[in-house]
Structure 1
Amino acid sequence: MADPLTEVIQLLRPRAVFSKGISGAGRWAVRYADFGQPGFCAVIEGRCRLAVSGEQPVTLEEGDFVLLPATPSFTMSSLDPAQPLHIDPKTVLPPDREIRHGRQDGPPDVRQFGGWFSFDAQDAGLFVSLLPRMIRIRGVRRLTQLVCLLGEEAAREDIGRDLILQRLVEILLIEALRAAPTEEAQPGLLRGLADPRIAAALRGMHGDIERAWTVPDLARQAGMSRSAFFDRFSRMIGLRPMEYLLAWRMTVAKNLLRSEKVALGEVARRVGYSSASTFSTAFRRHVGLPPGSFTTRAGMRSEAALV
């Protein structure tokens, strides 16, 4: 059976970028501006406070892991309040040593390891928007171990480093998302996958993207009436069924156009269109460019990245 979560992560193509050790002692607070890239941290020892914009403040303790898929503005601080130091993560150069907040001497009150990475996919925004704004997981030792492995590998200058980092980030994402609590999750992919009926429809879409799916087909896949399925899918995912299917098809199509020398008719067939002209019309409407122009631009971006 298709695994929608794994497929989405693979097409987002996460890339490890930066990781660091962070500690704090005494009274301290830092306020980070909106960043937009995925960020994560694991608390190794001690406690601190985290206040993410739009979310309730939480106290982080040893063994806690936090993932921010799009990292909005947030404040990290000691348990005792302090005037925050404002930081713009887009302009601050990564340090080559552990960051220390508050009192600089003596043992720290809290130690954590964290960092951020990027998604290589240019259309990552839609699927990131289907993930929770903040994922907090408690007591999953594997996540802390993965974060530490990321940090160790990032500090090395050895052969295969980039590939290992890429795989570690993929594993970290999958581990975090499948361990994330879904009982009170906002509408999105995790909430849909936690619902057995909606998950069956999602697996159908991802497992047979070439099929000419209709809402009644997907409703049968979920074992529901058409109207009940439509309402439940829209409520759980935050998109109507055919909106999600179109977004997924176009994401797969863009990946094919960017990375493989596949004829247009073959791309159309692989994503469920009966002809190249029908696919081209849908692609232009969704992306704003015909497939040929998209492929040319994607090639130019790839060449520029190599310079």
Structure 2
Amino acid sequence: MSDPLSEVVRLLHPRAVFANVISGKGNWAVRYAEYGQPGFCIVLEGRCLLAVDGHEPIAIAAGDFVLLPTTPPFTLSSFVPAPPVFIDPKVVPGGDGERRHGEQEGPPDMRSLGGAFLFDSADSGLLVSLLPEVVHVRGSQRLIQLVQMVGEEYADQKPGHDFMLSRLVEMLLIEAMRSSTAGSAPPGMLRGLGDERLALALKQMHARIDRPWTVAQLAKAAALSRSTFFERFTRTVGVPPMEYLLAWRMEIAKDLLRRDGLNVSEVAERVGYGSTSTFSVAFSRHVGRPPSRYARTG
């Protein structure tokens, strides 16, 4: 049986860009400009206030993990307002040791480890479509350990650290996605995986992407009537079953064309098309470019 979460992470090819400690004492605030790439933070000690633009401020405390899939502008601060220090992460990317805000002497009231990562995949929008704009997980020991290891690997620069960082970020992403299947995820695959019946159909679909699935076959896999399955899938995943299958086939096809050096007819067969021309038409309509041109330009 296929594991859809693992497939998503494999398609994204994530890698860490930087990680560093942020601390604060007294009354302080730091305002970050929009970054546009996924950012993460784990609170190591104390507590502070996180205000992401467009969302209600939330108090985050030791053990809390936050993932911002697109990292819009946000403010991190003490609970008493203070004039903010402005930082543009595209200009000052971090990774240069601890950054202290507010009072410089004495133990901090809050310490956090934050960072960002990029995707080698050209289609990082795949992650954005799966997760809420703010992922907030309280007290996950596994996430604490993973983020701390990301920080250590980034700081130490030991042999093999690029490989280690990419694997750690993959695990971090899967933990964040697991935490979102319980209901905080927007309509999509993650919410579907949180539904016991729909998960059966989704796993079957991912395991045999080349099979000529019908709604009736998928409904049977989910042990639901055809009409109930169609309505429940569409409401939970956000699109009808066959539309979801088409979109996922195109994600797999893009990856095969970009990375595996297969010709168009081989890719068509891998993703369930008996005719190269039918695949080319579907791919062009979905992606906006013919598969042969996509393979050359990525």
Paired residues for 1:215-294 under 5 Å: 215-294=215-294
Decide whether the 8 Å contact of 2:181 with 2:191 is kept in 1: no
- Cα distance per residue 1:58-100 (max 9 Å; x no partner): 1111111111122222211111122333332222242522111
Q: Which amino acid aligns with 2:69?
A: P
Decide whether the 8 Å contact of 2:69 with 2:128 is kept in 1: yes
- Cα distance per residue 1:193-252 (max 9 Å; x no partner): 110111112111111000112222222222222332222212212222222211111111
Decide whether the 8 Å contact of 2:181 with 2:193 is kept in 1: no
Counterparts of 2:181 and 2:294, CA distance in 1: 38
Paired residues for 1:160-239 under 5 Å: 160-180=160-180, 182-239=182-239
Q: Which amino acid aligns with 2:206?
A: H
Q: Which amino acid aligns with 1:273?
A: Y
Q: Which moved more, 1:79-88 or 1:67-76?
A: 79-88
Distance 1:13 1:161, change over 3 A: same
Deviation at 1:181, TM superposition (A): 6.4
Q: Which residue of 1 aligns with 2:110?
A: 110
Decide whether the 8 Å contact of 1:42 with 1:114 is kept in 2: yes
Secondary structure in 1 matching 2:216: helix
Decide whether the 8 Å contact of 1:43 with 1:64 is kept in 2: yes
RMSD: 1.6
**Structure 2 unpaired stretches of 5+:** none
Distance 1:131 1:61, change over 3 A: same
- Cα distance per residue 1:136-177 (max 9 Å; x no partner): 111211211111111111112332111110001001111222
Counterparts of 1:240 and 1:83, CA distance in 2: 49
Secondary structure in 2 matching 1:59: strand
**Structure 1 unpaired stretches of 5+:** 299-307
Q: Which residue of 2 aligns with 1:16?
A: 16
Deviation at 1:178, TM superposition (A): 1.5
Secondary structure in 1 matching 2:91: coil
Q: Which amino acid aligns with 1:171?
A: M
Counterparts of 2:7 and 2:235, CA distance in 1: 22
Q: Which amino acid aligns with 1:86?
A: F
Q: Which amino acid aligns with 2:168?
A: L
Distance 1:82 1:240, change over 3 A: farther
TM-score, with length taken from structure 2: 0.94
Counterparts of 1:247 and 1:31, CA distance in 2: 37
Counterparts of 2:224 and 2:11, CA distance in 1: 30
Secondary structure in 2 matching 1:166: helix
Secondary structure in 2 matching 1:155: helix
Counterparts of 1:120 and 1:258, CA distance in 2: 11
Q: Which residue of 2 aligns with 1:122?
A: 122
Counterparts of 1:260 and 1:205, CA distance in 2: 22
Secondary structure in 1 matching 2:201: helix
Secondary structure in 1 matching 2:156: coil
Decide whether the 8 Å contact of 2:41 with 2:115 is kept in 1: yes
Q: Which amino acid aligns with 1:158?
A: K
Decide whether the 8 Å contact of 2:130 with 2:185 is kept in 1: no
Decide whether the 8 Å contact of 2:46 with 2:62 is kept in 1: yes
Instruction: Kindly tell me the number of residue pairs found equivalent between the two proteins.
Output: 298
Decide whether the 8 Å contact of 1:132 with 1:188 is kept in 2: no
Decide whether the 8 Å contact of 2:192 with 2:198 is kept in 1: yes
Distance 1:96 1:87, change over 3 A: closer
Q: Which moved more, 1:44-53 or 1:239-248?
A: 239-248
Deviation at 1:257, TM superposition (A): 0.8
Decide whether the 8 Å contact of 1:16 with 1:118 is kept in 2: yes
Counterparts of 2:156 and 2:16, CA distance in 1: 13
Q: Which amino acid aligns with 1:174?
A: I
Counterparts of 1:272 and 1:173, CA distance in 2: 29
Q: Which residue of 2 aligns with 1:33?
A: 33
Counterparts of 1:18 and 1:152, CA distance in 2: 11
Asked if 1:157 corresponds to 2:163, the answer is no
Deviation at 1:34, TM superposition (A): 2.3
Paired residues for 1:54-65 under 5 Å: 54-65=54-65
Q: Which residue of 2 aligns with 1:301?
A: none
